[in-house]
């Protein structure tokens, strides 16, 4: 029996050694170079369903608060902050300290008991401020300690922190007495924890052509954000800073970042030391890691290849949104072009090339795309083949719900209704994809175009555009450029434009009405909304408004000229120019409703009447103007008049009539003179 037992023990021993070999073998390829458990702050951010915790100060945007008045009875829960942990780790035994800012309003102070509950997985740990309570006055912070035992936390488990107060008793209360708890940006509200922040792995360097790839793998409970939300980083090879960082990709349990060194020709073989420093926040102590790599260069370049995994969507992308809207009175046609560059464009191409990849997680968008039409030799070949692009296009174009899922949570983190005015289900969308001639897994531009048609059914107030990005701690889009153009037909106009947080240009060009919005550098934090109100009748359309305005201006000018026919036009002339300019500005450049434009034109007609009546009369201007008297006098002086001399007194007498015979009295003696010829 003892011999059999010894054999059994020996067999189990060799079996354990054999099972350990696959586990230890990868360590020759990848070294874990960091890090042990450490103390750090998890900052409180957000509220309600968005309340969470983050170690990155860059993710603190805005201030949240919760006010408790003296009328509150019993326990008052302030907020619950939830964090989904993404990397299995071991938590050491430690005391976590919760800290939140407050402000006492309209009272000398307040006595309160504060409670903090920390839920890890299914276990709750509780800490209290003590009895009889804490006295708070003015502004300050409440601190509560919570003891956490050593335990495991697995990927997917949540950490929830709930802060509550009870037994509030205000000292010298006044009107509207309350205590306000604040957290977020510049409040230093946090919970100081002791736990593993991240693991850093450095696999062997790869010589690919004339480049050397140094992969670095970050595994953390904060997932991709451990790389994308860092304040800063520095990677050195042999003391030289490497600035060439390729698009990160997802790996099991983390994210892989390839740093690329180009050593130049005739680089010698040998040991190279790679050093990485990362800064969580501005002014923080850097986390440093290091590994030595034995690099051998081959003649003509390295023969190895670097295989990229799934590109990280949050690694930095730019989005250009171009929206063109046409309104004809009965329908609104809208074309939306989404042009993306950077990590998202690379992720889209990678996803189309991985349609049918069985290793994708079940909730991955491209896992949902049917792969029956994709040829086996097209799959995962490092390029987007025609059948792969068609499979993606058929999936999003054949179902409105598929398209909405793609735009929203599935891929782009955009709000479809904010971009398309209403539910896409009612607008029969048509989708097209433009790879811009780049079929490799590249970050080059990629455009998705969506055309929709909405039939109006009594709507008068519609949304042209509103903030359309989903709020995320780690945003997909670093920068968004927006261009929106709305045009109307000649007999379909707009009554008014309402805007909040967005500038726009509104003008009427001939017989069409145009709205233009230009905004560059938008982020998730920007909020805006632009609405337009349709004209209720064709009488308020651009064509009718223009025609009526011209007729009213003509009436005003004609009336002014006729009423001042015998008066000075010193007031009427400038007034006519002012009225024409004012109506032209109101119609073309201003965003005034058409009723206001017509009212201004009508006011010109009405005002022309008193302006004409107060114009001064002309005295002799009809005869004296333009030098008429001088001209007549000069003509009279130059005209030759025949005359006849009286035979009795020799007085010359002018003859101004051509009548013959003619009798005229002599101007000297008075005798009658007869003129025969």
The answer to whether residue 23 is domain-embedded is no
Q: 121 with 178: CB under 8 angstroms?
A: no
The pairing of strands 317-327 and 479-488 is parallel
Res 619: pLDDT = 53
> Which domain, by its residues, includes 369?
317-536
| Same domain for 532 and 573 | no
Please say which residue of 502, 521, 536 terminates a domain. 536
Q: What is the rounded distance in angstroms from the CA atom of residue 229 to the CA atom of residue 60?
A: 11
Q: Tens of pLDDT along 582-639?
A: 888 777 877 778 888 888 888 888 888 888 888 787 654 444 444 555 665 566 566 6
Q: Model confidence at 543, in pLDDT bands (50, 70, 90)?
A: confident
The count of residues in the chain is 677
3-state secondary structure of 393: helix
| Same domain for 425 and 276 | no
**What average pLDDT is seen over the chain?**
85
* DSSP bridge pairs for 174: none
| Same domain for 172 and 229 | no
Q: Tens of pLDDT along 150-174?
A: 999 999 999 999 999 988 888 888 8
| Same domain for 380 and 359 | yes
| Same domain for 387 and 447 | yes
| Same domain for 324 and 234 | no
DSSP structure class, residue 664 = E
Domain count for the chain, please give it: 5
How far lies 559's CA from each of 82, 552, 565, in Å? 75, 10, 10
Q: What is the rounded distance in angstroms from the CA atom of residue 210 to the CA atom of residue 462?
A: 57
Query: Structure pTM?
Result: 0.72
| Same domain for 192 and 162 | yes
Q: What is the rounded distance in angstroms from the CA atom of residue 178 to the CA atom of residue 74?
A: 15
DSSP for 538-607 reads GGGSHHHHHHHHHHHHHHHHHHHHHHTTTB--TTHHHHHHHHHHHHHHHHHT----HHHHHHHHHHHHHH
Please say which residue of 248, 282, 308 terminates a domain. 308
| Same domain for 302 and 169 | no
Q: For the stretch 521-542, what's the b/e string if a residue is b when 16 or more beta carbons lie within 10 angstroms of its beta carbon?
A: ebebeeebebbbebbeeeebbb
* DSSP bridge pairs for 233: 278
Q: Tens of pLDDT along 248-266?
A: 998 877 899 999 999 888 8
Q: What is the rounded distance in angstroms from the CA atom of residue 437 to the CA atom of residue 435?
A: 5
Q: 445 with 317: CB under 8 angstroms?
A: no
Residues 6 or more apart whose CB falls under 8 angstroms from that of 298 comprise 207
């Amino acid at each position: 029996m003892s011999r059999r037992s010894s054999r059994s023990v020996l067999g189990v021993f060799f079996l354990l050694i054999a099972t350990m070999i696959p586990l230890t073998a990868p360590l020759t390829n990848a070294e874990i170079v960091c890090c042990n458990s450490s103390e750090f702050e998890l900052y409180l951010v957000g509220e309600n369903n968005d309340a969470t915790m983050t170690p990155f100060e860059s993710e603190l945007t805005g201030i949240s608060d919760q006010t408790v008045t003296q009328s509150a009875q019993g326990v008052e829960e302030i907020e619950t902050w939830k964090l989904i942990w993404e990397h299995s780790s071991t938590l050491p035994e430690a005391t976590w300290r919760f800290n939140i800012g407050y402000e006492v309003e309209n009272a000398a102070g307040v006595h309160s008991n504060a409670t903090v509950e920390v839920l890890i997985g299914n276990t709750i740990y509780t800490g209290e401020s003590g009895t009889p309570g804490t006295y708070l006055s003015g502004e300050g912070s409440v601190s509560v300690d919570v003891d956490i035992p050593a335990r495991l936390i697995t990927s997917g488990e949540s950490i929830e922190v709930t802060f509550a107060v009870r037994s509030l008793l205000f000292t010298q209360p006044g009107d509207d007495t309350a205590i306000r708890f604040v957290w977020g940006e510049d409040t230093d509200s946090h919970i100081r924890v002791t736990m593993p922040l991240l693991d850093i792995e450095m696999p062997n360097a790869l010589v690919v052509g004339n480049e050397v790839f140094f992969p670095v793998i970050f595994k953390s409970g904060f997932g991709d954000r451990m790389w994308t939300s860092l304040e800063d980083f520095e990677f050195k090879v042999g003391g030289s800073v490497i600035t060439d960082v390729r698009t990160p990709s997802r790996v099991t349990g983390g994210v892989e970042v390839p740093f690329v060194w180009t050593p130049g020709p005739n680089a010698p073989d040998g040991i190279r030391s790679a050093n990485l420093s990362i800064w969580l926040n501005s002014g923080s102590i850097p986390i440093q890691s290091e590994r030595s790599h034995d690099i051998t260069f081959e003649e003509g370049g390295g023969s190895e290849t670097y295989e990229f995994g799934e590109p990280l969507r949050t690694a930095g992308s730019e989005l250009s949104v171009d929206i063109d809207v046409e309104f004809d009175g009965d329908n609104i046609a809208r074309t939306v072009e989404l042009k993306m560059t950077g990590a998202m464009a690379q992720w889209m191409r990678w996803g189309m090339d991985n349609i049918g990849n069985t290793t994708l997680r079940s909730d991955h968008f491209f896992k949902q795309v049917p792969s029956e039409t994709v040829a086996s030799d097209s799959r995962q070949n490092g390029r987007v083949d025609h059948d792969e692009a068609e499979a993606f296009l058929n999936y999003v174009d054949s179902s409105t719900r598929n398209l909405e899922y793609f735009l929203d949570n599935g891929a782009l983190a955009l709000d479809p209704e904010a971009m398309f005015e209403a539910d896409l289900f009612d607008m029969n969308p048509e989708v097209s994809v433009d790879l811009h001639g780049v079929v490799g897994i590249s970050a080059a531009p990629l455009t998705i175009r969506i055309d929709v048609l909405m039939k109006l059914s009594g709507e008068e107030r519609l949304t042209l555009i509103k903030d359309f990005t989903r709020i995320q701690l780690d945003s997909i889009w670093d920068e968004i450029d927006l261009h929106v153009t709305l045009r109307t037909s000649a007999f379909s106009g707009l009554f008014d434009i309402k805007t909040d947080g967005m500038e726009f240009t509104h003008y009427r060009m001939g017989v069409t009405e145009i709205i233009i919005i230009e905004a560059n550098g938008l982020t998730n934090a920007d909020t805006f909304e632009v609405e337009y109100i349709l004209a209720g009748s064709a009488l308020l359309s651009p064509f009718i408004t223009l025609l009526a305005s011209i007729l009213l201006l003509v009436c005003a000018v004609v009336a002014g000229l006729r009423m001042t026919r015998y008066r000075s036009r010193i007031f009427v002339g400038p007034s006519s120019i002012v009225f024409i300019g004012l109506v032209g500005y109101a119609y073309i450049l201003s965003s005034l409703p058409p009723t206001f434009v017509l009212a201004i034109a009508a006011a010109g007609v009405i005002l022309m009447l008193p302006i004409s009546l107060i114009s001064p009369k002309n005295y002799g201007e009809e005869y004296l103007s333009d030098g008429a008297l001088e001209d007549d006098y000069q003509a009279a002086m130059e005209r030759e008049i025949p005359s006849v001399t009286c035979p009795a007194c020799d007085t010359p007498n002018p003859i101004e009539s051509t009548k013959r015979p003619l009798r005229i009295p002599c101007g000297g003696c008075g005798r009658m003179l007869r003129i025969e010829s």
